[in-house]
Amino acid sequence: MHNTEVEILLVEDSDLDAEITIRALRKNKISNHIVHLSDGVKALDFLFCNGEYSNRDITQKPRLILLDLKMPKIDGTEVLAVLKSHVETQSIPVVVLTSSKEHPDVNKCYNLGVNSYIVKPVGFQNFMEAIATSGIYWMLINQPVE
């Protein structure tokens, strides 16, 4: 699958949240190719074609990155900082998904240049809607960099 075109990269350590997210996207007909990675290290390896992803085609950039903040090893803000500081990756829209608005890094994320910051809503219907709306916006409405 390494050479397959990736449209959405989901970086999320919770398999359950990942499943809900993917389900929400699919339910809203956003069934583009989605890759789910469970931590920041894998995400960076994937994007920069290192480690187990060294054979991947680096020109195949995802159209959207859904990024969880609280992850083991390298957390979401660190991943974001790397992405936004590299020319190759800085134009990829990044939507941060977090469980809590209490997170002290909200401001940090915006300073790093996050494109959107979404608190996973308490209501589960709402969560589905939020994911769907965001997915529709970034995948269908937003005009990406040429």
Partner 1 sequence: MKMRNNLNNLLGLLGLLLITAKLIFSSWNIIEFTFLPATLFLVLLGSLMVFETNKIDVQLYLKLTGQDLFKGSQKEYAHRNGFIDREWITDHSFPTEEWVSGWQKPHAAAFSVDQDQIIHQTEKDIAGRSDEPAYAEHANYPTFHHNSGQGTSIRTMEIPIPISEIPMAVTGSPIRINSIQNLWDEKLQEFNYFFNHSRDLACLVDPNGTLELINPVFEKTIGLFKYEIIGQQFISFVHPDDIEMSLKEIENLVSGAQSLNIINRYRKKDGTYIWLDWNLSGEPKTGKIVAIARDISDLKKAEFEINQLHEKLEQKVMERTSQLEAAVQELETFTYSVSHDLRTPLRAIGSYAQMLEEDYLQALDEEGKRVLLTIRKSAEKMGTLIDDLLSFSRLGKQAIQKSPVDMNSCVLDLLDLLQHVYKHKAEIIIHTMPDAFCDRSLIRQVILNLLGNAIKYSSKNDHPVIELFATRKEQDIVFCIKDNGIGFDMKYAHKLFGVFQRLHGEKEFEGNGVGLAISERIINLHGGRIWAESIPGEGATFYFSLPVAV
Residues with Cβ within 8 Å of residue 100, at least 6 apart in sequence:
119
Amino acid letter, residue 120: K
CB of 7 to partner 1, least distance (A): 23
Nearest-angstrom CA–CA distance, 88 and 77: 18
Report whether 79 contacts 44 (CB < 8 A).
yes
Asked if residue 124 binds partner 1 (CB under 8 A), the reply is yes
Q: Which stretch binds partner 1 (CB under 8 A): 1-9, 31-39, 99-107, 110-118?
A: 99-107
**Toward partner 1, which CB reaches closer, 6 or 80?**
80
Asked if residue 133 binds partner 1 (CB under 8 A), the reply is no
Q: Judged by CB under 8 A, which of 46, 53, 117, 127 binds partner 1?
A: 127
Angle between helix 40-48 and 76-85 (nearest 10)? 20
Q: Which stretch binds partner 1 (CB under 8 A): 29-37, 81-89, 124-132, 137-145?
A: 124-132
Q: Which stretch binds partner 1 (CB under 8 A): 33-41, 73-81, 117-125, 138-146?
A: 117-125
Which residues make beta-bridge pairs with 14? none
Question: Torsion-angle region of residue 51: left (phi > 0), alpha (psi -120 to 50) or beta?
Answer: left
Asked if residue 29 binds partner 1 (CB under 8 A), the reply is no
Asked if residue 123 binds partner 1 (CB under 8 A), the reply is yes
